[in-house]
Amino acid sequence: MKTLIVSYLPRGERSHTKKLLDTFLAETGDTHIEHLDLLENLPDVFLPENLGAYIKRSYLGETLTPEELRSMACMDRLTAQLKSADIVVLATPMHNFSLPAVVKAYFDAVMLKGETWEAGPSGYFGLMKGKKALVLMASGGIYEGQMASWEHGMSLARTEFSFMGFEDIRHAWIAGVNMMPDKVDQLVEKAREDLREIIREWY
Ligand SMILES: Cc1cc2nc3c(=O)[nH]c(=O)nc-3n(C[C@H](O)[C@H](O)[C@H](O)COP(=O)(O)O)c2cc1C
């Protein structure tokens, strides 16, 4: 069983999300883990050349020139890596009510038609059946009640995994670190407990 960790933690050692990732690493033992650090491996974003190549290959079924293939190489590499994992763990902060741009770029890079999802006569379907995804996140606010509609981070990550067909999607979320600065330790501990429960079940 292979676990792929995809992390984007620009606050480094100060990151609250990292506390969850450290707990995950400490408590999953000697499981086969591969780590994609997005700080060191920025995903390509779609620009005219690679978007044209993607449409040509995946929507029109045409063969790409070597140059067009090269323009897709980064996305193809990230997608193959994602597909090789049984469990994907995404560790990311919430930025501006959503996923940070780099994490969104990662999803854009791996959500390739014909690779992680497909379209058929009865609509879209994910190709990542039987796989699990876990989202580790910290946010300054708490998105409940009236604020729930402002939340586009955790919900987007869960939607993206779901669209790709991941069947068991969980999260551990430290929410409210800026709203309740005097309760951060408790918030972290609560999310750690949620995480431990998932680890117990999955590993
Ligand atoms: C650029 C930036 C944007 C942020 N935007 C939001 C936001 O929209 N909503 C929120 O609840 N917290 C926001 N925060 C607070 C972070 O989510 C919070 O500091 C969290 O701890 C970040 O995770 P980390 O500690 O793993 O870096 C933002 C922080 C930064 C640096």
pLDDT (tens digit, 9 = 90+) per residue, 131-163? Answer: 999 999 999 999 999 999 999 999 999 999 999
Cα–ligand 1 centroid distance for 136 (angstroms)? 13
Structure tokens at 49: 């050349």
Beta-carbon count within 10 A of 68 CB: 17
Q: Would you say the pTM of this structure is higher than 0.85?
A: yes
Ligand 1 binding pocket includes 16 (Cβ within 6 Å): yes
Ligand 1 binding pocket includes 11 (Cβ within 6 Å): yes
Cα–ligand 1 centroid distance for 141 (angstroms)? 8
Tens digits of residue pLDDT in 66-92 = 999 999 999 999 999 999 999 999 999
* SS3 readout for 26-89: HHCCCCEEEEEECCCCCCCCCCHHHHHHHHHHHHCCCCCCHHHHHHCHHHHHHHHHHHCCCEEE
Asked if residue 180 lies in contact with residue 174, where contact means CB atoms within 8 angstroms, the answer is: no
Ligand 1 binding pocket includes 95 (Cβ within 6 Å): yes
Determine the atom of ligand 1 nearest the C-alpha atom of 94: 17
Cα–ligand 1 centroid distance for 72 (angstroms)? 31
**CA atoms of 170 and 21, how far apart (whole Å):** 14
Confidence band for 29, pLDDT divided at 50, 70 and 90: confident
